[in-house]
Amino acid sequence: MTEIEKTLEAHQVRPTAMRILIYKYMAEKEVAVALTDIESAFSKSDRSTLYRTLKTFEENGIAHQIDDGTGISKYALCESGCNCELDQDLHLHFHCSNCDETVCLTAHKIPHINLPYGYLAENANLVVKGICEKCSSE
Amino acid sequence: MTEIEKTLEAHQVRPTAMRILIYKYMAEKEVAVALTDIESAFSKSDRSTLYRTLKTFEENGIAHQIDDGTGISKYALCESGCNCELDQDLHLHFHCSNCDETVCLTAHKIPHINLPYGYLAENANLVVKGICEKCSSE
DNA sequence: AGAATAAATGCACTTCTGTTGCATTAAAAA
DNA sequence: TTTTTAATGCAACAGAAGTGCATTTATTCT
Ligand SMILES: [Mn+2]
Ligand SMILES: [Mn+2]
Ligand SMILES: [Zn+2]
Ligand SMILES: [Zn+2]
């Protein structure tokens, strides 16, 4: 049993062929992926299957959804030990306006925000837009 | 000439009847509005007109678009003297998971974020989700 | 004012993303 | 092996965003 299979099973997700492939695909990419990316990469498979795979990953804490402001949902694998569901791994995301790629900056947590009286924070999303490392060094 | 007409003209936007009505509508609401909200409020007018009005407001610095993570674009009037276009009025937004309303917290600016070497920040979006003042006091 | 010009509006239609119902296939349990 | 459950594929639908073009309304020019 491979590492990936173990990871999936550890999150109560059956390690089907497709799921293993998608997990591998996401692990190899260093950027967040959209459904359309996966669609192009696995054109033989149906969009709904790929869609549901991402949702399954998300619901079981294998990946987290990223709203980078482009209007297109992206997904990235969670780091081992991350607790997205519990809103505890609130790292920020960076979206490059040049290459349109989005990355997790897992080392950069969202700072605590003081809210006006009466407001109760449960979650937060911080997206910084600009030029990514790759694009700025060209 | 009313205050609203003056404001519109100051931003090089012709004060048509529809635009004045929409501006008034947005000014009276204390929360960000979606296109669908305006559609319901002005059912006699066409969606594309309302859509283009919001875009015009946005392009001319009268209103700013808000991505609150719901997947539906919201808009709010800019405060006088705000410079959204220049990415200088980076206040945060609060989205209530109970009443689904989004508000500008214009007094709460987005804190400066240190990025890894090579990353160049141009803009930022911070949305805090939770329970709003109105909902928490019920 | 009246003609010419430009802008705003209304209508219809398209695209894109996300989402779901249901039949079929594959896997797991009994 | 039979029964049961889960995953996949197919075919739609929904909602939001966006656009081309004709028509109406407003502005400019003579
Ligand atoms: Mn992330
Ligand atoms: Mn705002
Ligand atoms: Zn880039
Ligand atoms: Zn609320």
Give per-residue pLDDT as tens, A3-60. Answer: 999 999 999 999 999 999 999 999 999 999 999 999 999 999 999 999 999 999 999 9
Q: CB pairs below 8 Å between A and B: how many? A: 112
pLDDT higher at B43 or B84: B43
Mean per-residue pLDDT for B21-33?
Answer: 97
Q: Give the length of chain A.
A: 138
Measured CA A54 to C1' C19 distance, in angstroms: 13
pTM of this structure: 0.92
Q: Are B102 and B95 in contact (CB under 8 A)?
A: yes
Question: Using the CA of B49, which nucleotide's C1' is the nearest one?
Answer: C9
Whether the CB of B30 is below 8 Å from some CB of chain A: the reply is no
pLDDT tens figures, A55-106: 999 999 999 999 999 999 999 999 877 777 666 568 999 999 999 999 999 9
Q: Among B21-30, B87-96, B101-110, whose mean pLDDT is lowest?
A: B87-96
Torsion, Cα of B16, B22, B23, B25 (10° steps): 150
Q: Name the average pLDDT for chain B.
A: 93
Q: How many Å apart are CA B128 and CA B110, to the nearest integer?
A: 11
pLDDT at residue A74, rounded to an integer: 97
Of all ligands present, the nearest one to the C-alpha of A129 is: 3
Residue B84 pLDDT greater than 90, yes or no:
no
Q: Are B20 and B7 in contact (CB under 8 A)?
A: no
Q: Determine what percent of chain A is predicted with pLDDT higher than 90.
A: 87
Whether the CB of B105 is below 8 Å from some CB of chain A: the reply is yes
* Listed residue (B94, B99, B9, B29) closest to A119, CA to CA: B94
Residue nearest to nucleotide C18 (CA to C1'): A51
User: How many domains are contained in chain A?
Assistant: 1
The range of the structural domain enclosing residue B49 comes to 3-136
* Listed residue (A59, A78, A70) closest to A34, CA to CA: A70
CA A33 to centroid of chain Cα atoms: 7
pLDDT at residue A81, rounded to an integer: 72
Return the CATH number at B7: 1.10.10.10
* Listed residue (A59, A83, A66) closest to A29, CA to CA: A66
Residue B70's closest chain A neighbor by CA? A67
Give the pLDDT band (50/70/90) at residue B87. low
- One-letter amino acid at B54 equals L
